[in-house]
Amino acid sequence: MSLTAAETTELLPAREVQLDRAVRVGLIGGLTAMFIVTSGMLETFDLRMIVDPILSLGYVTLMAAPFAVGYVAGKAPPVLEGYAAPSVGARNVQAGAIAGALTGAIYALYALIIHVLDFSSVFIKLTEQTKKIVTLDMGAGGVLILALVMAVSGAVGGAVHLLERRWKRAVLYSAFWVVMFGLLEVLVSQIAFVRRISAVKELLYGTDAGLTLIGAVIIGGLVFAAYYYLDGRVRAATRRAMALEGQQRRRFILISLGVAIVFLAVLPQILGPFLSEVLDLAGVFLLMALGLNIVVGFAGLLDLGYVAFFAVGAYTTAILTSPVSPKWSPELSFWTAIPFIILAAAAAGVMVGTPVLRLRGDYLAIVTLGFGEIARILFLSDALKPYFGGAQGMLLIPDIDIGPFTIDDSISFFYPIYAFVILFAYLSYALQDSRVGRAWMAMREDESVAEAMGVNIVAAKLWAFVIGAIFAAIGGALFAHKIGSVFPESFAILVSITVLVLIIVGGMGSVPGVTVGALALVALPELLREFAEFKFLFYGTLLIFMMLNRPEGFIPSRRRARELHLDEVEQDAWLAQAAEQDPAPAE
């Protein structure tokens, strides 16, 4: 009935791509291009080749602006119910070209202005080198060429919408991965170096950083083929795996766990010392992120002073294991120190948790922010110097022994760190799916109702703080053993903020999301140290982008994914079943 009704109803005319919107985003693109030039990004990024000798990261960044605005401008507005779907065509390309051309025009105007007038006393990054780059070292002609390329880039961005979904994804992702591989030469060359397979490295990269032309074609082609082939298949496989029941489900989980463990066991051996070092750091942040995920993601308690617990763990292990701890040094091993670290963390969790029991939202955030700073200042203070070493910190924290093995380098540290990551990931899942997890969830949704429905708010909050504190403290202890020393400067507020950012970007309340967040936001910047000055710009941009486009994070929690993807299937199946048993519909 309803189907035929919908068919006969006249649809309203489609909402087409708006050209005035193209002008608007084009202006934004122009400002972005100006910013890229003025901030010095262009100059710094130009030193790094993506595809040797033709394309540097600087020009990729510069051209990404018109491409992005072209893509946005060429995208049709969402189809609302009752409206016809717009047909794709010249209009998408046209809108993209307008946006790109406008970006190019603003860029050209700005490039000419900075050539005639000297702003370098105010914008110190507008150096002679930058001026050379903005003109391709060819004067006004070069500016014109770049502006034209920008217009074309915008048109290409708009033209992407002409492609069928499957092609579109394959094209966009292959471009993305070519740039990523160009950037992450270190990743391939390290593996090649450790495994002594330099032929692959030389084929892709030649002797310099940056892909060769052949390398770019190979990578692009492979990624394209992979996305084209896998489109839809991955999701279907995931759906099948999630639909497994009972025995089969258990076997599936066991097998994937086994594969994951074998993979993790050989990973540092393949990656070599430098990349293992990067993963170790990411792992330490991941431990903290899993803990903060319980406090913020599960229980909804916004803790901005989370680094305090990390510091408690690091200092506890330092006192207990270092032979030169100022006041008292029992020189325990890491393993015997663990129970004390857990106790100290739990005590710290209760100490922070108790005074803030009655606080909610913004107030809780501000107070915990204060606690985080208090912890750092206490460890730094002269008054407590006899215990914690003040600004000099504490040194000679020993390596970790596991039976006959000594954990003393980045490759071997990978194992204890990721063993704890797996343990904490399990604990997160186990707690989430339990009475305690439900209490946290209810509390996050509506604290007073949760209490009226029988949840003991005091216990639930304290447990969240205590478990979060223990996770972070273990992370801190491993960090201290790895570095071999602790200093108060390691526990700055920025650590708390970084951990929070990575769980927001990864996906609040989702263990895989948090993992991806830690790898993307901690490991990636480590690999791209040469651009470290732009790290927080990148974080900020990413955060804004995520909040606007994907507030649930890269990999939202399973609960959300279930709601979003499996709902219709289940509903249809149930309705069909119900109709068989009972001809009258339920409602």
Partner 1 sequence: MALLEISSLSKAFGGLHAIDKLDLHVDRGEIVSVIGPNGAGKTTFFNVITGMITPDEGEIIFDGADLAGLRPNQILALGMARTFQNVRLFPNMTVRENVMVGRHTRTKAGVFGAILRTPAFRAEEEETKRKAEETLSFFGTRLVGYRFDQPALNLSYANRRRLEIARAMGSDPQLLLLDEPTAGMNPRETLEITGLIGKLRDEKGFTVVLIEHDMRVVKGVSDRVIVLDHGSKIAEGPYDEVAQNPDVIEAYLGRPATGTA
Binding test (CB under 8 A) with partner 1, winner from 114, 411, 436, 511: 436
Minimum CB separation of residue 192 from partner 1 in Å reads 42
452 lines the binding site for partner 1 (CB under 8 A)? yes
Record the tokens describing residue 359, joined without a space: 């606080």
What is the three-class DSSP state of 381?
coil
449 lines the binding site for partner 1 (CB under 8 A)? yes
457 lines the binding site for partner 1 (CB under 8 A)? yes
CA gap 418, 63 in Å, rounded: 39
Task: Of 42, 434, 469, give the one whose Cα is nearest residue 295.
Answer: 469
What is the three-class DSSP state of 55?
strand
238 lines the binding site for partner 1 (CB under 8 A)? no
Region 524-583 residues binding partner 1, contact defined as CB under 8 A: 559, 562-563, 567, 570-571, 573-575, 577-578, 582
434 lines the binding site for partner 1 (CB under 8 A)? yes
Residue pair 150/107 in contact by the 8 Å Cβ criterion:
yes
**For partner 1, which is the closer residue by CB, 165 or 435?**
435
CA gap 134, 42 in Å, rounded: 8
**For partner 1, which is the closer residue by CB, 65 or 290?**
290
442 lines the binding site for partner 1 (CB under 8 A)? yes
Binding test (CB under 8 A) with partner 1, winner from 215, 437, 475, 513: 437
Total count of residues recorded for the chain:
587
With a CB cutoff of 8 Å and minimum separation 6, the contacts of 84 are 11, 12, 13, 14
CA gap 25, 275 in Å, rounded: 39
**For partner 1, which is the closer residue by CB, 155 or 455?**
455
Task: Of 399, 372, 377, give the one whose Cα is nearest residue 388.
Answer: 377
Minimum CB separation of residue 474 from partner 1 in Å reads 15
Stretch that binds partner 1, among 64-72, 133-141, 252-260, 436-444 (CB under 8 A): 436-444
Minimum CB separation of residue 508 from partner 1 in Å reads 11
Stretch that binds partner 1, among 211-219, 228-236, 447-455, 488-496 (CB under 8 A): 447-455
**For partner 1, which is the closer residue by CB, 24 or 438?**
438
Region 403-432 residues binding partner 1, contact defined as CB under 8 A: 427, 430-431
**For partner 1, which is the closer residue by CB, 362 or 582?**
582
- Quickly tell me which residue has 């390596």 as its tokens: 399
199 lines the binding site for partner 1 (CB under 8 A)? no
Minimum CB separation of residue 429 from partner 1 in Å reads 10
Strand pairing partners for 106?
Answer: none
Distances (CA, A) of 55 to 61, 63, 128: 10, 11, 20
Minimum CB separation of residue 551 from partner 1 in Å reads 13
CA gap 70, 314 in Å, rounded: 49
Residue pair 39/125 in contact by the 8 Å Cβ criterion:
yes
Minimum CB separation of residue 557 from partner 1 in Å reads 10
**For partner 1, which is the closer residue by CB, 372 or 437?**
437
5 lines the binding site for partner 1 (CB under 8 A)? no
CA gap 371, 381 in Å, rounded: 15
Minimum CB separation of residue 461 from partner 1 in Å reads 13
346 lines the binding site for partner 1 (CB under 8 A)? no
List phi, psi (to 5°) of 405: -90, 145
Minimum CB separation of residue 587 from partner 1 in Å reads 7
**For partner 1, which is the closer residue by CB, 310 or 463?**
463
Residue pair 165/78 in contact by the 8 Å Cβ criterion:
no
Determine how β-strand 55-56 pairs with β-strand 400-402.
unpaired
Query: Buried (b) or exposed (e) across 269-299, using 16+ Cβ within 10 A?
Result: eebbebbbbbbbbbbbbbbbbbbbbbbbbbb
Binding test (CB under 8 A) with partner 1, winner from 296, 394, 441, 500: 441
Binding test (CB under 8 A) with partner 1, winner from 165, 196, 233, 435: 435
Minimum CB separation of residue 83 from partner 1 in Å reads 24
239 lines the binding site for partner 1 (CB under 8 A)? no
CA gap 108, 30 in Å, rounded: 9
For partner 1, the binding residues (CB under 8 A) are 427, 430-431, 433-439, 441-442, 445-446, 448-457, 463, 467, 559, 562-563, 567, 570-571, 573-575, 577-578, 582, 586-587
